[in-house]
Structure 1
Amino acid sequence: LFNLDGEVVGVNSQIFSRTGGYMGLSFAIPIEMAMNVVDQLRTKGRVTRGWLGVLIQDVTRELA
């Protein structure tokens, strides 16, 4: 994703389309976030992400 000055400002990541085509609602990752991921991969070999402390599980009859 480029601005009018030709600078990279984001990386297109997803598109929501009712028809499955290329037209629809698009989402992009800001370049600062993408570069942070690149830096982490270069220095640590992995990306550290935030954690909300939420666990998901199926609700059984006993739990309900």
Structure 2
Amino acid sequence: MFDSILKAAIALAIQEGLLVEEDGVLLSPTTINLVNEIEEMHRQHLIDMALANNDRELFMQLTN
């Protein structure tokens, strides 16, 4: 009985947008946003490094 209640609660949380299921893993939308921000910061850092090192090829790959 507990399992069915838990599954229903998880399904409701997903439906309401309180949780996101990706590849069988439950995540908070806030966690997903944080990961996206970190990825963007890393990309910007790589762009800055490519510019500082005059690495045109890497810069073009990162900005496409």
TM-score, length-normalised on structure 1?
0.35
Which one has the bigger helix percentage?
A: 2
Q: Which one has a bigger Cα radius of gyration?
A: 2
TM-score, length-normalised on structure 2?
0.35
Which structure is richer in relative contact order (CA contacts within 8 A, separation 6 or more)? 1
Which one has the bigger strand percentage?
A: 1
